[in-house]
């Protein structure tokens, strides 16, 4: 069927479902008012992180954006710790202080996400520089969106990564929107993001981020390029978020995108498309798919039960892990 083995295909399918069911559970529970933080869901964008979960190793490091749940889970981050963090509990991956946009699990190489657009780009490049200086194995992966291309820090970081031939892979998930502004309203007509990255000196590739086969091939080629020491790479993968920019709802009624556009992209659901491929090629059965979803739903439900029962951070710890620089 593709360059993937049956085992790999099954794992990617399971990861896609894992990401979606987790985020659907967040959406379902959000209205209770117990998650006192903004949350940015990537429902509809599960393909790229799931594919990379099959390629990246424990030696690879990753940083992400405000829309980080999928990247965190795909890198192996603890589901229990992530859900607890969104609930602001002491058992959260950031001790309940960071919320949805500030996730970290150093044990699996997920080195953090932040709310500020473009903020983790130089951090990811720094991680790549450290690997090169120390002659460490693995690469640094920088997840970013199309909106981050409009930040000056992207150009500075991309230039440095290209100049120094750092083991850095920039993964741009182009979902066409930055908050409520379309790509066509933010960037010149006819300009391609991956071509812009190539002009800086990065090795680049572009592909369909909703096609498992195409995304896997693009990601694997880029990963091998970086890992072999040939320098930094940039891949642009087209995708689409289904729900509102920030929050658990749908926002097709407020005018920045049409219902027709949304329906067109939803018809290209990466999970449904891949599931059909797997069944048609007799790699997995419909019963197997149902079993995978049932197992994931059970795991997710348990994570939410644990998070709701966990304690909040002790108020005496309020000033721990808080840093400030004295002005001179």
User: What does pLDDT average to over the chain?
Assistant: 96
- Contact (Cβ atoms closer than 8 angstroms) between residue 171 and residue 146: no
First-last CA distance in the chain: 64
pTM for the predicted model, two decimal places: 0.95
Please state which CATH class domain 6-317 belongs to: alpha beta
Instruction: Tell me whether residue 322 is exposed, middle or buried, using C-beta atoms within 10 angstroms of its C-beta: 0 to 12, 13 to 18, 19 or more.
Output: exposed
| pLDDT tens readout for residues 55-112 | 999 999 999 999 999 999 999 999 999 999 999 999 999 999 999 999 999 999 999 9
Give residue 130's Cα distance to chain centre.
23
Which pLDDT does position 319 carry in this prediction? 81
Average pLDDT (165-186) is 96
SS3 43: coil
Residues 6+ apart with CB under 8 A from 75: 53, 56, 62, 105, 108, 109, 110
Question: Dihedral of the CA atoms 212, 251, 193, 265 (nearest 10)?
Answer: 40
Which pLDDT does position 320 carry in this prediction? 81
- Contact (Cβ atoms closer than 8 angstroms) between residue 210 and residue 238: yes
- Contact (Cβ atoms closer than 8 angstroms) between residue 167 and residue 229: yes
Residues 6+ apart with CB under 8 A from 113: 63, 64, 65, 66, 68, 71, 72, 101, 102, 103, 104, 120
Which pLDDT does position 3 carry in this prediction? 80
| pLDDT tens readout for residues 105-132 | 999 999 999 999 999 999 999 999 999 9
Domain boundaries, the chain: 6-317
pLDDT for residue 277 is more than 70: yes
Average pLDDT (273-278) is 97
**Cα–Cα dist 94/270, whole Å:** 31
């Amino acid at each position: 069927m593709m360059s993937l083995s049956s085992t790999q295909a099954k794992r990617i399918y399971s990861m896609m479902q894992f990401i979606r069911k987790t985020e659907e559970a967040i959406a379902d529970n959000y209205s209770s008012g117990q998650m006192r933080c903004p949350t940015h869901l990537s429902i509809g964008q599960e393909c790229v992180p799931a594919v990379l979960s099959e390629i990246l190793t424990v030696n690879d490091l990753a940083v992400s954006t405000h829309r980080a749940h999928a990247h965190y889970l795909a890198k192996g981050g603890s589901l229990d710790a992530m859900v607890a963090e969104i609930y602001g509990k002491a058992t959260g991956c950031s001790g309940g202080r960071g919320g949805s946009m500030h996730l970290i699990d150093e044990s699996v190489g997920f080195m953090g996400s932040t709310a500020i657009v473009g903020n983790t780009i130089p951090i990811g490049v720094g991680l790549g520089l450290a690997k090169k200086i120390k002659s460490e194995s693995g690469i640094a992966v920088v997840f970013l969106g199309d909106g981050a291309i409009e930040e000056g820090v992207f150009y500075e970081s991309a230039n440095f990564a290209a100049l120094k031939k750092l083991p850095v892979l920039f993964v741009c998930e182009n979902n066409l929107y930055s908050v409520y502004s379309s790509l066509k309203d933010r960037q010149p007509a006819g300009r391609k993001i991956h071509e812009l990255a190539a002009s800086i000196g990065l090795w680049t590739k572009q592909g369909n981020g909703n096609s498992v086969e195409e995304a896997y091939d693009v990601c694997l080629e880029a990963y091998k390029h970086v890992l072999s020491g040939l320098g930094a790479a940039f891949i642009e993968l087209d995708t689409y978020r289904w729900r509102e920019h920030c929050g658990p709802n749908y926002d097709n009624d407020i005018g920045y995108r049409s219902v027709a556009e949304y329906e067109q992209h939803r018809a290209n659901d990466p999970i449904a498309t891949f599931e059909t491929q797997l069944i048609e090629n007799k790699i997995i059965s419909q019963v197997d798919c149902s079993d995978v979803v049932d197992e994931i739903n059970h795991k997710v439900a348990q994570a939410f039960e644990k998070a709701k029962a966990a304690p909040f951070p002790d108020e005496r710890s309020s000033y721990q892990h808080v840093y400030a620089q004295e002005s001179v």
